[in-house]
């Protein structure tokens, strides 16, 4: 069973393994990676990896937790800055740009978690949490632009799903028809998300 490290040496060891895993996931799926490869890349031992995580999957889930924390913090920052936007479309365009940035930065772990979902048809609890955090952000956008009484909660869920899915699929190179120009692309996504929020 995984336990979060408390001692500086154990934290440093865990970080070396996670950095190695993240780096290797850029070129291979989790299934293609061996524990020996991860340990070798981290310049540590297989035994140390197993003692720390127990399995590759557990190491992936720990790495994913860091991404989820970052994504949730980003949503709090966006929510705190909503007053800076004159219209809902501009706010949604900004959210799209920020989400693509963090998805690109953490592409390898996003792809590995997607592979885990396809293999097990199970949504990780941390994935559910960041999706619900995004829904919460959408509700704040509705409130900020005076849509709270006219728009539905279903609109907040739909907007969150669109924002996450369109950007993820673009980063995955699964939506090549979207505009290559970032300004045009995020304007298009922002306008679609804004429409969903008004529904």
Question: Each residue of 26-54: pLDDT tens digit?
Answer: 999 999 999 999 999 999 999 999 999 99
Average pLDDT over residues 161-178: 95
Span 60-106, pLDDT tens digits: 999 999 999 999 999 999 999 999 999 999 999 999 999 999 999 99
pLDDT higher than 80, residue 148: no
**pLDDT, tens digit, for every residue of 104-124?**
999 999 999 999 998 888 999
Q: Mean pLDDT throughout 15-19?
A: 97
**Is residue 137 a contact partner of residue 195, using CB atoms and an 8 Å limit?**
no
Report the C-alpha gap between 107 and 112 in whole angstroms: 9
Percent of the chain with pLDDT over 90: 90
Binned at pLDDT 50, 70 and 90, residue 149 comes out as confident
Of the pLDDT bands very low, low, confident and very high (cuts 50, 70, 90), residue 2 is confident
3-class state of residue 101 by DSSP: helix
Mean pLDDT of the chain: 94
Reply yes or no on whether the pLDDT at 6 is more than 80: yes
Alpha helix ranges (H) inside 25-124: 35-42, 46-52, 56-80, 88-105, 107-120
Q: What is the pLDDT of residue 151?
A: 77
The CA–CA distances, whole Å, from 113 to 42, 57, 145 equal 21, 9, 34
Q: What's the pLDDT score for residue 55?
A: 95
Q: Which of 119-123, 136-140, 159-163 has the lowest average pLDDT?
A: 119-123
Full-prediction pTM beyond 0.85? yes
Mean pLDDT of the region 168-178:
94
């Amino acid at each position: 069973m995984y336990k979060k490290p408390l001692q500086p040496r154990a934290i440093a060891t865990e970080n070396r393994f996670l950095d190695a895993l993240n780096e290797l996931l850029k070129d291979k799926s989790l299934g293609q990676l061996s524990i020996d490869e991860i340990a070798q890349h981290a310049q540590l031992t297989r035994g140390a990896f197993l003692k720390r995580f127990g399995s590759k999957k557990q190491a992936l889930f720990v790495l994913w937790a860091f991404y989820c924390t970052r994504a949730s913090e980003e949503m709090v920052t966006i929510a705190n800055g909503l007053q800076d936007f004159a219209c809902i479309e501009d706010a949604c365009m900004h959210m799209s740009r920020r989400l693509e940035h963090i998805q690109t930065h953490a592409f390898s772990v996003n792809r590995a978690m997607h592979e885990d979902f396809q293999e097990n048809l199970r949504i990780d609890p941390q994935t559910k949490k960041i999706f619900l955090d995004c829904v919460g952000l959408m509700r704040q956008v509705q409130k900020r632009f005076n849509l709270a009484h006219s728009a539905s909660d279903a609109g907040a869920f739909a907007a969150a799903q669109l924002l996450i899915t369109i950007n993820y699929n673009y980063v995955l190179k699964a939506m090549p028809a979207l505009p290559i120009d970032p300004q045009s692309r995020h304007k298009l996504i922002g306008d679609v998300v804004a429409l969903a929020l008004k529904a």
